[in-house]
Amino acid sequence: MTNEPKKYVNKSETSLPELVQHVGDLYVYLIKKKLLIMVFILIGSLIGLTASFIVKPKYTAHLSFALVEKSSSGGLADLASSFGLSGLIGGGGNGAFSGDNLLEIIKSRYAIEQTLLTPVNYKGKIENLVEVYINFSNLRKEWTNNKRHPELQNLCFPVGQKRDSFSRAQDSVLFKIYNTIDKTKSLSIVRKDKKTSIVNVDFTSKDELFSHFFVEKLMDETYRFYKQTRTAQSRANVNMMQHTADSIKNLYEAALYKGAGYSQVNINPALQYAAVPRIKQENNAQMYGTVYAEVLKNLETLKLDLARETPIVQIIDTPRLPLLKEKIGKVKGIAIGGFIGGFIIISFLLSVLYIKNLFKDSK
């Protein structure tokens, strides 16, 4: 029992000359099979050449932007507090929709579906981007032979159709397209550097115009949603203050008209009581004028704070035609196909040889 491990170790040890001899034997063996190897290399090259004609090229649209975050000033919170709105304003402009989360919003289902439902002028025809995707992806051909879902054969996405009126089939198709974009990593959003706010957005598809339009519209939809969400409460405060200002203005103008009417009354000692309504209207007009001026000042302050709070997206690079094109060239296809064909047949031959040697050793 004590001698068996030693025998095993001795068998497993291979000297350098033996290793060189073994490699040489393999080389000689492969040389004998060179005709078969050349046939497989030729077949692989032909397949690669065919693929270079069949496989459609891919087009990548690139867009880069810098997000300028603006923190709300303390004056907004103080002013809102004076009007009883302090509870409506939280801790500034940060929170769920901070700058970092903008990257997640860009590739969210909401943003992508809204982009797909955006109308564009595609080769002289106004249609939604989702229709362009369906056409160049040949989805309608698949739907024609789909007997399980016959409603897909006449499915379309008309321009202007409201989202809440979509059928179940339309929602399913939209989700499938979103899922395809997400799983194939067609959309890439990368921050250039953690220390900077520059973000690169790249989208790749088999249609050049679709890639171009998709990136532009996706950025527009994302920024619109992001800006509205970040400034929703501030805009509500401005609208409320504007409504108050309009109401006070109407009261002020009505008081002025009434005061002017009372001033036409012919006052005499016997009718001095007639001056009382005039004096009241003048006081009302003066009070409304003072309040209106103060409200206008506060309204302008709210508008200024809203402008300060609104994030700015500065576009640096926009996609321009022609886009970056990724295509399997003829030479590249032949080289890759030949390499794969040769690798497959050589791996197969060596595997067969190894199995044969194992059977010989076992005997």
Domain count, the chain: 3
Identify whether residues 218 and 104 lie together within a single domain.
yes
Identify whether residues 120 and 147 lie together within a single domain.
yes
Q: Is the pTM of this model over 0.95?
A: no
Q: Where are the beta strands (DSSP E) in the chain?
A: 58-68, 119-122, 125-128, 187-191, 198-205, 312-317, 324-326
Identify whether residues 97 and 183 lie together within a single domain.
yes
Identify whether residues 104 and 218 lie together within a single domain.
yes
Domain span at residue 49 reads 4-54+329-362
pLDDT at 77 (0 to 100): 47
The per-residue pLDDT for range 316-346, each reduced to its tens digit, is 999 998 998 888 778 888 899 899 999 999 9
Q: Which of 258, 319, 268 is nearest to 288 (CA)?
A: 258
Angle in degrees, CA 266, 267, 269, rounded to 5: 140
Q: Which two tokens stand for residue 331?
A: 């030479």
Burial (CB count within 10 angstroms: exposed 0-12, middle 13-18, buried 19+), residue 185? exposed
Identify whether residues 21 and 138 lie together within a single domain.
no
Indicate which CATH number applies to the domain containing 129. Answer: 3.30.1890
Q: Please say whether the beta carbons of 122 and 212 come within 8 A.
A: no
Identify whether residues 193 and 64 lie together within a single domain.
yes
Task: Please determine, for residue 266, whether its predicted confidence score (pLDDT) is greater than 60.
Answer: no
- Find all residues with CB under 8 Å of 127, minimum gap 6, and list them: 119, 120, 159
Identify whether residues 142 and 219 lie together within a single domain.
yes
Identify whether residues 203 and 147 lie together within a single domain.
yes
Give the 3-state DSSP-derived string for 61-114, with helices as H, strands as E and coil as C.
EEEEEEEECCCCCHHHHHHHHHCCCHHHCCCCCCCCCCHHHHHHHHCCHHHHHH
**Mean pLDDT confidence for 101-105:** 82
Q: Which residue has the tokens 């499938």?
A: 176
Task: Please determine, for residue 8, whether its predicted confidence score (pLDDT) is greater than 60.
Answer: no
The per-residue pLDDT for range 293-318, each reduced to its tens digit, is 887 888 888 888 777 777 778 889 99
Identify whether residues 44 and 100 lie together within a single domain.
no
Helix (H) or strand (E) holding 165: none
Task: Please determine, for residue 132, whether its predicted confidence score (pLDDT) is greater than 80.
Answer: yes
Identify whether residues 97 and 213 lie together within a single domain.
yes
Identify whether residues 256 and 119 lie together within a single domain.
no
**Mean pLDDT confidence for 215-222:** 93
Identify whether residues 157 and 244 lie together within a single domain.
no
- Find all residues with CB under 8 Å of 282, minimum gap 6, and list them: 259
The per-residue pLDDT for range 46-76, each reduced to its tens digit, is 998 888 788 889 999 999 998 776 654 444 4
Q: Please say whether the beta carbons of 58 and 204 come within 8 A.
A: yes
pLDDT band at 179 (very low <50, low <70, confident <90, very high): very high
Q: Please say whether the beta carbons of 218 and 201 come within 8 A.
A: yes
pLDDT band at 226 (very low <50, low <70, confident <90, very high): confident
Q: What Rg do the C-alpha atoms of the chain give, in angstroms?
A: 38
Q: Which two tokens stand for residue 347?
A: 């791996």
